[in-house]
Amino acid sequence: MANEEAKVTQENGITEYINHHLQFLQVDYTTGIVQNSKKVTSVSDYNNCLSQKKSPEQCLKELHATDCHFSDLGTSTCVPYESEQPQGLINPNIINVDSSLISILLGFIILGFFGVGVKKSKESKVPGKFLTAIEMIIEFVNQSVKDIFQVQNKLIAPLSLTVFMWVFSMNLLDLLPVDLLPNICKSIGIPYIRVVPSADVNITMAMSVTIFLLILAYTFKYKGIKGFVSDYALHPFNTWFLAPVNIFLEGVSLLAKPVSLGLRLFGNMYAGETIFILITIFFAFDPSSSSILSVAVFNLILACLFLIMRFTAKDNSAVKSINLVAFFIAILLSAYQFYAYWYNIGSEENVIVFYLVDLIFAAACLALAFLHKENKAKLWGLISTAAIILLVCLGSSLYGVLPIGIVSGTILNLVWALFHILIIFLQAFIFMILTIVYLASASTAEE
From the candidates 51, 91, 238, 260, which is the catalytic residue? 260
What are the start-end ranges of the H helices in 52-187? 56-62, 97-123, 129-148, 156-172, 180-187
Gap between the Cα atoms of 161 and 173, Å rounded = 19
Gap between the Cα atoms of 267 and 259, Å rounded = 12
Gap between the Cα atoms of 234 and 240, Å rounded = 7
Annotated catalytic residue 268:
yes
Nearest in space to 338 (alpha carbons), one of 395, 296, 299, 298: 296
State the burial class of residue 31 (Cβ atoms within 10 Å of its Cβ: 0-12, 13-18, 19+): exposed
Nearest in space to 331 (alpha carbons), one of 302, 357, 354, 353: 302
Task: Enumerate residues 6+ apart whose C-beta is below 8 A from 161.
Answer: 137, 138, 141
Which value, in Å, is the radius of gyration of the alpha carbons in the chain?
A: 26
The three-state secondary structure class of 61 is helix
Nearest in space to 358 (alpha carbons), one of 315, 387, 379, 381: 387
> How many Cα neighbours within 13 Å face the side chain of 121?
11
Taking a C-beta distance cutoff of 8 angstroms, is the pair 183, 345 a contact? yes
Nearest in space to 166 (alpha carbons), one of 247, 110, 236: 110
From the candidates 121, 264, 316, 408, which is the catalytic residue? 264
**Amino acid making up residue 193:** I
From the candidates 246, 268, 323, 350, which is the catalytic residue? 268
Taking a C-beta distance cutoff of 8 angstroms, is the pair 388, 358 a contact? yes
Angle at 393 between CA 18 and CA 407, to 5 degrees: 50
> How many Cα neighbours within 13 Å face the side chain of 179?
25
DSSP state of 193: -
Largest CA distance in the chain: 84
The three-state secondary structure class of 75 is coil
Q: Which residues are catalytic?
A: 260, 264, 268
